[in-house]
Amino acid sequence: MTHLHLNPTVVVVADDEGYLAYDVGTGRLWHLNPSAALVLELVEEGCDLDQIHMALAPILGADGWPSCRTWIESSVRDGLFAGEPSPTTGEVGAPDRLRALASELRGRDRVLGAYICQRRATELAPDDPQIWYELGELAHIVGRRVVARNAYERYFDHHPDDAEVEHLLVSLRDETPPARVPDRCIRQLYSRFSSFYEENMRDELGYRAPELLRDAIAAAAGNRRGLAVLDLGCGTGLSGELLRPRAGRMVGVDLSPEMIERAERRGLYDALHEAEIGSFLASPSCGSFDLVVACDALIYFGDLGPVLRLARQRLEPEGLVAFTVERSDVGPFRLTDSGRFAHHRDHLFDAADAAGLVVESADEAILRQEYGSPVPGLVVVCRAGPDKSS
Ligand SMILES: C[S@@+](CC[C@H](N)C(=O)[O-])C[C@H]1O[C@@H](n2cnc3c(N)ncnc32)[C@H](O)[C@@H]1O
């Protein structure tokens, strides 16, 4: 074996320090360090084993070559390199094929392989904005932040009206976050998401914030029934369904018409309003409630002070405000690369206190999964304290 060839079913892309290589035939992955990356470049230039040895000798020294040679031999056995050129060269090379592979691999949670295929597709078809969008998603999933930012920027150049990508770029560029996720972004996100929201959250992501909140409310509210309940960011009614047994009257509020429409079909709510949470709470027609709930909705708000203050003003005496947020170890809160906010535990207590609420419980829990990792959260119940509105 003096001449080597890159196995034609292997896709290679540059990475932070070296290359990533993925065999679409066997699913095998290689992280190539700078020396291995150099070997690969020399192989691709058509160098034989002697030429590779000569090129690497000054870098590796006399002692380094035997282990490099052993690595090359094992890479032939593992299928990175082949001794003979294959007649199927180019089989996986077309951008559409790579993109289809990326989509299929992502569906099977083989996200690094998907990322490699998608990244190679953008190298081959750099003028297709949609390919860049898909790379942005995959780069975010595998934690390649700079690649994700660059990919979303390339897409955004062609789609400057995309409010979701505009918002993601705020985080990826480390710009100052807005007070809350822009309304236009929420509407676009849930217009796209509404048709598979429940299936995705429940069946694929193990979403259990509604159950966690129901149980936390039960611990604080005991046997109280017939409550006036306000469900902020009610979505399709997943949280409302579990609140209904306690409710005499239940009102839902949400920005997304598609989510509201699904909530309506559930037939749980006495009234549903397509409105922004803060604007609704501030409107004179809002009314007052025994229980104000925001299940997985304040993840779209930065500083919780203003919204908790408004919620406090809508509480009956002995009223409760209950909500979940994603937990951050960094205070007081931060916009994450997912486009959602995460809050430090201390911020909940500070914001609740300033709003005239007393935190009854703030339990840590896993709210759901995301890309195979748990999403840590806080399940919070507050009681009306001294009114600080004046
Ligand atoms: C993750 S979903 C949660 C839905 C529901 N509470 C549940 O537990 O399934 C978040 C919901 O909050 C809504 N939302 C986000 N920000 C909002 C805002 N500022 N005003 C009104 N609704 C908002 C979204 O439209 C979406 O339906």
User: Rounded distance, CA 209 to CA 295, Å?
Assistant: 7
CB 377 within 8 A of CB 209: yes
What is the distance in A from the centroid of ligand 1 to the CA of 181? 11
Q: What pTM was computed for the model?
A: 0.92
Minimum CA distance residue for ligand 1 atom 9? 238
Q: Is 235 in the pocket of ligand 1 (CB under 6 A)?
A: yes
Q: Please, where are the H alpha helices in 108-237?
A: 111-124, 129-141, 145-158, 163-172, 183-193, 197-198, 209-221
**pLDDT score of 386:** 81
Q: Parallel, antiparallel, or unpaired for β 247-254 and 271-274?
A: parallel
User: Rounded distance, CA 118 to CA 312, Å?
Assistant: 48
C-alpha angle with apex 359: 348 to 178, nearest 5 degrees?
Answer: 20
User: Rounded distance, CA 14 to CA 260, Å?
Assistant: 45
**Phi, psi torsion values for 284, nearest 5 degrees:** -60, -25
Diameter of the chain measured on Cα atoms: 85
- Measure the CA dihedral 355/217/325/303, to 10°: -10
Give the DSSP H or E segment for 89: none
**pLDDT score of 85:** 65
Pair of tokens at residue 149 = 């930012």
pLDDT averages per 10-residue partition of the chain, 390 residues: 83 91 94 91 89 89 87 93 65 83 93 96 95 97 96 98 98 98 98 97 96 98 96 98 98 98 97 98 96 98 98 96 98 97 98 97 97 96 84
Best residue among 199, 243, 300 to mutate for probing ligand 1's pocket (most ligand atoms within 8 Å of CB) is: 300
Q: Which residues contact 263 (CB under 8 A, 6 or more apart)?
A: 234, 235, 236, 237, 240, 252, 254, 269, 272
> Which sign does the torsion angle of CA 18, 23, 29, 35 carry?
negative
Minimum CA distance residue for ligand 1 atom 4? 235
Best residue among 260, 296, 303 to mutate for probing ligand 1's pocket (most ligand atoms within 8 Å of CB) is: 296
Burial 275-311 (b: 16+ CB within 10 A, else e): bbbbebbeeeebeebbbbbbbbbbbbbbbbbbbbbbb
What is the distance in A from the centroid of ligand 1 to the CA of 260? 10
Which atom of ligand 1 is closest in space to residue 183's alpha carbon?
Answer: 19
**pLDDT score of 63:** 84
Q: Is 268 in the pocket of ligand 1 (CB under 6 A)?
A: no
Amino acid letter, residue 34:
P
Q: Is 295 in the pocket of ligand 1 (CB under 6 A)?
A: yes
> Which sign does the torsion angle of CA 97, 99, 103, 108 carry?
positive
